[in-house]
Structure 1
Amino acid sequence: RGKGAAVQLGWQRANGDVVMLLDGDLRESAAEAEHLLAPVMEDACDMAIAILPSPRQKAGMGLAKGLAHRGIKWLTGFEASAPLSGQRAIRRDLLQKLGKIDKGFGIEVSLTVDALRAGYRIREVPVGFFHRETGNDWRGYSHRGKEFVAIGRTLCTKWWEGKPWLHTP
């Protein structure tokens, strides 16, 4: 059912006041999650988003990340350094207020836009996570292409939702 559905099910079944979203391929660097958790636990923000170190090898053309960055800025005014980072610490009440989240690869953009629109505080935090990187091969370009389409769909949906006069009967 997709990444977003898995995240939705996971946070609903998790316990605690703060939910951590971490990729399964972080390996030993997952221990760095404490740096992501700290600002939320200290009430410096409601959602902390990890800024990962620069990749060892540049992959792709930056289209998906650029679309996400510009779309978030256009819809909310927030200048995201890591618009596609899936590594997040989020207050449970934020997730409960937002309710259902995006089903696909647009989940990060959707969470960011919805949280900002609802008045929640977001902080981006440099964290030394390392994970498997997509390459400059067919699989990498295919993945990023699907991601680009999903981000575009999410941004269009968020734009539409932000126009209340379009929804009145």
Structure 2
Amino acid sequence: MSGTDLPPVEPVQGSVACVIPAKDEAERIVATVDAVRKLAGVDLVVVVDDGSSDGTAEVAERAGAVVVRHPRNRGKAAAMETGAAAVAERDGARARHLLFLDADLADSATGAEPLIAPVAEGRADMTIGTLPAQVRPDGSKAGGRGFVVRLARAGIEQATGWAPEQPLSGQRCLTRVAFEAALPLAQGFGVEAALSIDLGRKGFRIIEVPIDVRHRATGTDWRGQLHRGRQFLHVRRALVARNALPARGGSTTGPGR
């Protein structure tokens, strides 16, 4: 089914709901919510507490967010779906656009505003934020050796003919119609690559937009390597499910994790 085959949904003029999946982010979520509430067009902030063991839900609610809780950790894709459903309950037939941001952006979340205009103005069905180079608190370069990014980029290119600069970026804005066309979302860390493939194949317009945001960056220690190992497996699984697994794992250019 193409994007044009989907039933039309009348947008709320100028209204965007920001959905923030969060797990154990009590230290940063208040600053993130405060920053998001300053974004032009955002009139609803939904934090999905995905099985946190700290006070994430309580402090997010005090900061002015609508909070929905998962009693146990269900993963980012499930949190995105839960948050979007909470927005839909408040929208009725008039659907807000959906802005998905990471919970650890803190004050820098104000830099995500450029993601909104192309969608709100009808120039794109989904925008993807491209981030500046991230650094760790000690000033060292964040990230890994790019294996996961190259795999995701090559899979998206094979499936759609488009090679995104940052295929794993979780900072995205999209229309309600586009979001619903991608359901059910791929699980785990494969959700972003799968979103681009599923919507690209259905003819939705996707563009990357530079944004100046900063998140908690992983390094090259064993925790960072374990995280990227899980990412690689999840992305590979999403590509296999979509018959988009590249024969040689993709190109060797571009920034990566």
Aligned equivalent of 2:107, options 28, 31, 42: 28
CA root-mean-square deviation:
1.2
Q: The residue matched to 1:18 in structure 2 has which SS? A: strand
SS at match of 2:188: coil
Indicate which of 152, 175, 184 corresponds to 1:91.
175
1:122 maps to a residue whose letter is: I
Relative contact order (C-alpha < 8 Å, sep 6+): which is higher?
Answer: 1
Residue in 2 that maps onto 1:39: 118
Question: Superposed, which structure 2 residues align to 1:11-160 within 5 Å?
Answer: 11-14=84-87, 15=91, 16-56=95-135, 57-159=141-243
Question: Following TM superposition, by how much is the alpha carbon of 1:19 offset from its aligned partner in structure 2, in angstroms?
Answer: 0.4
Letter in 1 for 2:107: E
Instruction: Work out which of the residue numbers 79, 85, 89 in structure 2 matches 1:6.
Output: 79
> Secondary structure of 2:207's match?
strand
1:58 is displaced (CA, Å) by 4.1
Worse-superposed segment, 69-78 or 54-63: 54-63
> Any idea what SS the aligned residue of 2:177 has?
helix
Rounded Cα–Cα distance in structure 1 between residues aligned with 2:199 and 2:222:
34
> Post-superposition shift, 1:13?
1.3
Q: Which whole-Å CA distance do the structure 2 matches of 1:42 and 1:59 have between them?
A: 34
Secondary structure of residue in 2 paired with 1:80: coil
Q: Which residue of 2 aligns with 1:167?
A: none
Matched AA of 1:134: T
After TM superposition, the score normalised by the length of structure 2 is 0.60
Residue 8 of structure 1 and its aligned partner are, at CA, apart by: 1.1
Separation in structure 1 between the aligned mates of residue 99 and residue 243 of structure 2, nearest angstrom? 27
Task: Return the structure number with greater strand share.
Answer: 2
* Contact 2:187–2:234 (8 Å) recurs in 1: no
Gaps of 5+ in 2: 1-73, 136-140, 245-257
Amino acid aligned to 1:148: F
Q: Deviations over 1:69-92 (max 9, x none)?
A: 111001110110110000000101
TM-score by length of 1: 0.91
CA distance in 2, matches of 1:58, 1:129: 14
Q: Which moved more, 1:71-80 or 1:9-18?
A: 9-18
**Distance in 1 between residues matched to 2:210 and 2:111, nearest whole Å:** 10
SS at match of 2:209: strand
Question: Quick check: 1:17–1:93 contact (8 Å CA) kept in 2?
Answer: no
Instruction: Please list the CA deviations of residues 132-164 of structure 1 after superposition, one character each: whole Å capped at 9, or x if unmatched.
Output: 10011111000000000000000000117xxxx
- Equivalent position SS for 1:50: strand
Check conservation: 2:142, 2:218, Cα contact below 8 A: no
Larger Rg computed on CA atoms: 2
Shift of 1:12: 1.7
Task: Determine the C-alpha separation between the residues in 2 that align with 1:108 and 1:100.
Answer: 13
Whichever residue aligns with residue 213 of structure 2, its letter is F
Partner amino acid for 2:231?
Answer: E
| 8 Å contact from structure 1 (residues 49, 123) kept in 2 | yes
